[in-house]
Amino acid sequence: MHLFQYHGNELFAEDISVKMLAEKYGTPLYIYSYNTLLRHFMAYDDAFKKYPHIICFSLKSNPNTAIIRIFAKHGGGADIVSGGELYIALKAGIPPAKIVYAGVGKTEDEIRFALKSNILMFNVESEDELREIDRVSGTMKTKARVALRINPDIDPETHPYITTGLKMHKFGIPIEDALEHYNLASGLKNIKVIGIHKHIGSQITKVSPFVDALKRILLFIDKLRDHGAKIAYLDVGGGLGIHYKDEEPPLPKDLAKNLIPLLKDRGLKLIVEPGRSIVGNAGILVTKALYLKKGDVKEFIIVDAGMNDLVRPSFYDAYHHILPVIRKKRNTVYCDVVGPICESSDFLAKGRELKKVMQGEYLAVMSAGAYGFSMSSNYNSRPRVAEVLVKGKEHFLIRERETYSDLVRNEKIPAFLK
Ligand code: PLP
């Protein structure tokens, strides 16, 4: 559910006309609905309320501080994968005691920053990383809290690029080596193992992979406890899918209904790391039709948003609904919606039946709130776009559009070229 709906023939973000926002802030433009974001976050918090938990929003899906602040104000934590994300989480007001840090390539500086910030725990992905965290925390005369990220070898049946929990992937510690890693970690002076983590992939549209992975992980936790381990936290990762085209993914309450009964009596604190399912359908990308071009086999609608603004269609062949901002009675055309970037892979939609669009009209690329702005770039020297948050009848600019001078701000000209 989201709050981007037509009022008559005009698309609204909550109570505000999308056309008005496009005219005021320019395009391409990301627009987010505050009440959708909050509703999606609270759907998780309510679903798991019967079990001690922290909902750690996954910053990689959308790292805008204003958006993260919404979750921070409602008791949310953060799942981070870099020093930059840690900086943003803290700036957004997430308490360090609710921050968990995954990622296979944490650098010494990042580890130091996280230790200094006193985050809840590192989700450790390899033996080398364990030893490095031990070394760095030793130099800081502290003890690092860690969870072992276990790779349970479960197929989440999603796109291969967003599958993370199979043996072939770089993520986590293979489940068969996990006990050995635990024994190593518990012998390291500056490490305290307090949790177990897993994350098997993203855009998962069934409950069963979550259940299967959890069962495997719980068996391992029981084994660890038999060894006398004090495991307090179980981090089940994120990954719940959303509706892009015709998927009907389970809801947070379906996940909770299936997971909580497996956990009971174990006295664990549960961590959930949703990203896409909170922000995905809470954001749209608005773009303007620049030119129309008739090809031999199809038409091209050339718009002002490119793969640098929303890379998912080019990168994953992902589908996003494209809706006219103002609905008109028109014939349908078979077309590609393409951007201005000099790559054939620069498209927002391929081989679509869309109502004819005229030059200057606006289109809304739906379900663009997750892995949209966060994966955007300056490719083709295009300034990154503005972001706006709508709350009822109010709208707020939450990120300025970059300027041309931003494109060269960090560059330096060597003296001999001056
Ligand atoms: N946790 C970890 C460790 C991840 O790698 C990811 C995404 O890849 C997430 C959480 C969030 O996943 P999603 O946005 O599918 O909920």
Compute the distance from residue 396 Cα to the ligand 1 centre, in Å. Answer: 27
- Distance (angstroms) between ligand 1 centre and the Cα of 70 equals 19
pLDDT recorded at residue 155: 78
Contact (Cβ atoms closer than 8 angstroms) between residue 33 and residue 2: yes
Domain with CATH 3.20.20.10 in the chain: 95-274
Q: Where does 101-173 have alpha helices with state H?
A: 108-117, 127-139
* Annotated active-site residue in 187, 245, 295, 342: 342
With a 6 A CB cut-off, is 235 part of the ligand 1 pocket?
A: no
- From 151, 199, 367, the mutation candidate for ligand 1 (largest count of ligand atoms within 8 A of CB) is 199
Q: Determine whether the shortest distance from the Cβ of 277 to ligand 1 is under 6 A.
A: yes
Q: Is the CB of 85 under 6 A from ligand 1?
A: no
Chain region(s) in the chain for CATH 2.40.37.10: 4-32+280-408
237 touches ligand 1 (CB under 6 Å): yes
Active-site residue flag, 342: yes
79 lines ligand 1 (CB under 6 A): yes
| 95-274 homologous superfamily | Alanine racemase (3.20.20.10)
Q: Note the pLDDT of residue 68.
A: 98
Cβ–ligand 1 distance for 238 under 6 Å, the answer: yes
User: Could you read off the pLDDT tens digit of each residue along the chain, which spans 418 residues?
Assistant: 789 999 999 999 999 999 999 999 999 999 999 999 999 999 999 999 999 999 999 999 999 999 999 999 999 999 999 999 999 999 999 999 999 999 999 999 999 999 999 999 999 999 999 999 999 999 999 999 999 999 988 877 777 776 777 777 888 888 888 899 999 999 999 999 999 999 999 999 999 999 999 999 999 999 999 988 999 999 999 999 999 999 999 999 999 999 999 997 889 999 999 999 999 999 999 999 999 999 888 899 999 999 999 999 999 999 999 999 999 999 999 999 999 999 999 999 999 999 999 999 999 999 999 999 999 999 999 999 999 999 999 999 999 999 999 999 999 999 999 9
Amino acid at 205: T
Tell me the best of 71, 202, 276 to mutate to test the pocket of ligand 1, counting ligand atoms within 8 Å of each CB and taking the most.
Answer: 202
Tokens of 252: 């947070």
**Among the listed residues 367, 370, 372, 289, the one whose alpha carbon sits nearest the alpha carbon of residue 22:** 289
Pocket test for ligand 1, best of 37, 54, 57, 58 (most atoms within 8 A of CB): 58
Decide: 273 in ligand 1 pocket, CB within 6 A.
Answer: yes
Instruction: Please list, residue by residue across 353-392, b when 16 or more beta carbons sit within 10 angstroms of its beta carbon and e when fewer do.
Output: ebeebeeebbbbbbbbbbbbbbbbeeeeebebbbbbbbbe
Shortest-distance Cα residue to atom 6 of ligand 1:
238
Q: Which residues, listed in sequence order, are joined to residue 10 by a DSSP beta bridge?
A: 7, 326
Among the residues of 202-266, which ranges form H helices? Answer: 208-226, 252-263
Name the CATH superfamily for 4-32+280-408.
Answer: Lyase, Ornithine Decarboxylase; Chain A, domain 1 (2.40.37.10)
Q: How far is the CA of 95 from the centre of ligand 1 (A)?
A: 20
- Say if ligand 1 is within 6 A of residue 239 CB: yes
- What is the per-residue pLDDT for 227? 87
Choose the residue to mutate in 41, 122, 273, 375 for probing ligand 1, maximizing ligand atoms within 8 Å of C-beta.
273
Residues 6+ apart with CB under 8 A from 97: 118, 119, 120
Q: How far is CA 105 from CA 59, 131, 364, in A?
A: 17, 13, 36
Candidates 361, 373, 402; CA nearest to 308 is: 373
| 274 C-alpha to ligand 1 centroid (Å) | 6
Ligand 1 centroid, distance to 226 Cα (angstroms): 30
pLDDT at residue number 43: 98
Q: Is the backbone of residue 180 left (phi > 0), alpha (psi -120 to 50) or beta?
A: alpha
Instruction: Cis check for the bond before 383: say yes or no (omega within 30 of 0).
Output: no
User: Which atom of ligand 1 approaches the CA of 276 most closely?
Assistant: 14
- CA 351 / ligand 1 centre spacing (Å): 30
Protein residue whose Cα sits closest to atom 10 of ligand 1:
238
Report the DSSP beta bridge partners of residue 29: 286, 386
